[in-house]
Amino acid sequence: MAGVAALAAAAVRAVGCRASAAPPGGGGTKGKGGTATWAEEIAPPNWIWPFTPITNYSVYNSQTFQWLMYRPLYMFGDNGTSETVNYTLSPATAPVYSNSGKTVVINMKGWKWSNGETVNASNVIFWLNMMKAEKANYAGYAPGLLPDNLASAKATGPNQVTMQLDKGYSSLWFTYNQLAEITPMPMAWDVTSLGAKGGSGGCTTDSAADNYAKCKAVYDFLVAQTKKTSTYDSSPIWGVVNGPWKLSHFDTSGNVTFVPNPKYSASPKPTLAQFKEVPFTDLSAIYTALKTGQVDIGHIQASNLPQRPSGSAIPATNPLGSNYKLQPFYQYAISYYQPNFNNPTFGAVFKQLYIRQALQSVVDQVGMDKAIYRGYSDPTSGGVPSAPTNQWVPPAQQANNDQGPYPFSIAKATSLLTSHGWSKVNGVMTCQKPGTGTGQCGAGIAKGTPFKFTLEWATGSTTAQQVVSVYKSDASKAGIAINLVGKSFNTIIGESTPCKPGPKCTWDVLRYGGWVFNGPGFEPTGEPLFQTGAGSNSGSYSNPTMDNLINQTHTSSSLTVFHNYATFVAQQLPYIWLPNDYYVMGVDSKLHNVTFNPFYTLLPEYWYFTK
């Protein structure tokens, strides 16, 4: 789940659109200690190492788990609504660019790991070498970008890394979408066996001379340790942290307990004695837990809320009563269905733009917002979140009341299909005119192919089930037959690896939620999702014009250049866009200073109970 170029970093996004509720706070005497419980929704964490493959890449593993213990080189956002880089919470100072954007100097602050090691330049080189060795196994990799765009990267001092790049880049883009991918790793992880001396694995000093063989051996060891989820809270590897929290308990069901890391170098230091994440596989169960006081913080799904009143982000009445306060939780995100362009039987159909236009035209985003989300959602119309208001949204996405170029119209979907050689057979559109000419179905689509596919969706949410059901119903009116299959989030994300056409590339369309622009990449320039060969491009979308427009955003700070890219995304539909809902959260009235970072990063070190 990563992204935000053009103007100064402080102007990354203008927050607006809706009235916001104030965070719970004020009143009572600030206390020290106590245990805050967070309702962990849908999917328990199952990957502790920050070097994460696409099959495990989610906010449930990164922002709400890994980042509490292991701080990225640069943190983004704060205990509020900011979406800019936060150097105060980062283990490095602001990068220094020179040589027309070809030279980057990173200075570390000298933080400490919990075992006494310094968070230094070697930790950054360790990460970069691991990327060079195992980039294909890292969710954030896109061909030609980090680490491919490094001419060199050297420790030019104990706490300084100097990078020479293959060309000049936009400093904002390189900071937000390249340096943001790096997580310093301690020498205690540069090993190939438990109990080995830190650094003995040799990855930190490895090179291309041996094809990074040492890094690959370290990688194999760390992956093996990562898969041993039952040992997370006892492992001497994962016990070395530099964040404000460390694990005291973890089980494979997802019960997680964090306690303060007394060696944390930054501030604020945690006030809470413990922070617990309690697993729930269904949002309805979270609501029950809130109603009965079993958790302090939890997501209330729209089906349990009154209709949103005009001009307010939260309902006029509180369904939880006075023991909880309500607070909006916006995610800077897009929501979508993801088609598999390499599916051996239906990929050729998805590759036709008119097909994707038809699939988008049967998405009733406005109707879903009113009937399912009860006003707590906004349309997704392209690769940039449309709300809250921000400078990155191109005019093409704002068309048709923010639905973009393809508003809901069953008649339009039907017309698109019939004008390209499809007609209904037993109620299902079927290709009758194969070929690549005008009025024909398109390349690779055989005569008699029915417009029928399977949509796998992540269970655990009443609204998610309603969305796919409404979509299936509306699509059927245009002759599009959809088979719905519900699976757990972790099962579906495990399927979402890019695949080559063949017997193992069988999924048609996935619905696992969407993409929060919170790494890899905080500027929504598209390289993680839409660039040919990118690690997170699960559907294997490929378009040379798209690749060129994405590349232009990497070297230019022009808003026009960015909008050219974003307009193309909206028009080309690499995904099928869906409404993006924001959360209404219940927060214990005695728990204060709680806000919800739009990047989904939990920062419980700011929270405290009142007496």
pTM of the full structure: 0.89
Mean pLDDT of the chain: 93
Same domain, 205 and 250: no
Return the bridge partners of 103, or none. Answer: 98, 164
Do residue 601 and residue 546 come from a single domain?
no
Domain co-membership, 409 together with 355: yes
The structure tokens listed for 308 are 């949103």
Q: Looking at the DSSP assignment, which residues form a beta bridge with residue 93?
A: none
Strands 591-592 and 608-609: antiparallel
DSSP E strand stretches across 386-445? 422-425, 428-431
Residue 182 has pLDDT above 80, yes or no: yes
Question: Are residues 454 and 342 part of one domain?
Answer: yes
From its phi and psi, is residue 302 left (phi > 0), alpha (psi between -120 and 50) or beta? alpha
Q: Give me the domain span that covers residue 175.
A: 92-216
Which of 40-44, 409-413, 564-568 is least confident? 40-44
CATH number at residue 144: 3.90.76.10
More confident call, 421 vs 503:
421
The pLDDT score that the predictor gives to residue 42 is: 78
Same domain, 176 and 249: no
Note the helical H segments in 277-318: 283-291
Q: pLDDT tens-digit profile of 338-387?
A: 999 999 999 999 999 999 999 999 999 999 999 999 999 999 999 999 87
Whether 53 is covered by a domain: the verdict is yes
Where does the pLDDT of residue 247 fall: very low under 50, low under 70, confident under 90, or very high at 90 and above? very high
In a domain, residue 474? The reply is: yes
- State whether the Cα torsion 423-425-429-430 is positive or negative: negative
| Cβ count near 29 (within 10 Å) | 7
In a domain, 368, yes or no: yes
Q: Evaluate whether residue 224 is within a structural domain.
A: no
Within 429-577, where are the H helices? Answer: 462-477, 489-495, 544-555, 559-572
Tokens representing 131 are: 């990327």
Instruction: State yes or no: pLDDT of 87 exceeds 80.
Output: yes
Which of the four pLDDT bands, split at 50, 70 and 90, describes residue 2? very low
pLDDT band at 27 (very low <50, low <70, confident <90, very high): low
Is residue 235 in some structural domain? no
- Which pair of tokens denotes residue 435? 């070929």
Average pLDDT over residues 334-339: 96
pLDDT of residue 20: 40
Euclidean distance between the first and final Cα of the chain, in Å? 38
Residues 304, 352 within the same domain: no
Here the tokens at position 422 are 């499809």
Q: Is residue 64 part of a domain?
A: yes
Residues 68 and 149 in one domain: no
- For residue 188, tell me if it sits in a domain: yes
Q: What mean pLDDT is predicted for residues 69-78?
A: 96
> Which of 216, 232, 256 marks a domain boundary?
216
Domain closes at, from 177, 198, 216: 216
Is the Cβ–Cβ distance between 177 and 527 less than 8 Å? yes
User: Which of 414-423, 485-494, 501-510 has the highest average model confidence (pLDDT)?
Assistant: 414-423
Q: Is residue 236 part of a domain?
A: no
Estimate to the nearest angstrom the gap between the alpha carbon of 436 and the chain centroid: 37
Q: Are residues 54 and 120 in the same domain?
A: no
Q: Which residues are bridge partners to 516 per DSSP?
A: 333
Whichever domain contains 38, its CATH number is 3.40.190
DSSP state of 309: P
The answer on 494 and 365 residing in a single domain is yes
Give me the pLDDT at residue 521, please: 86
Model confidence at 24: pLDDT above 80? no
Name the one residue in this structure whose structure tokens are 């982000």. 313
Q: What percent of the chain has pLDDT over 90?
A: 86
Q: What is the CATH number of the domain that holds 371?
A: 3.10.105.10
Higher pLDDT, 545 or 496: 545
Regarding whether 517 and 374 lie in a shared domain, the answer is: yes
Structure tokens at 319: 């369904």
> How many domains is the chain partitioned into structurally?
3
Q: Which two tokens stand for residue 578?
A: 């869906």
Lowest mean per-residue pLDDT among 73-87, 188-202, 405-419, 464-478:
73-87
Whether 376 and 520 map to the same domain: the answer is yes
How would DSSP label each residue in 124-148? HHHHHHHHHHHGGG-TT--TTSTTT
> Are 113 and 254 part of one and the same domain?
no
Could you read off the pLDDT of 549-563 as tens digits, one per residue? 999 999 998 999 999
Quick check: 2 and 521 in contact, CB under 8 A? yes
d(CA 14, CA 4): 11
pLDDT at position 28: 66
* pLDDT for the residue 388: 72
pLDDT in tens, 217-231: 999 999 999 999 999
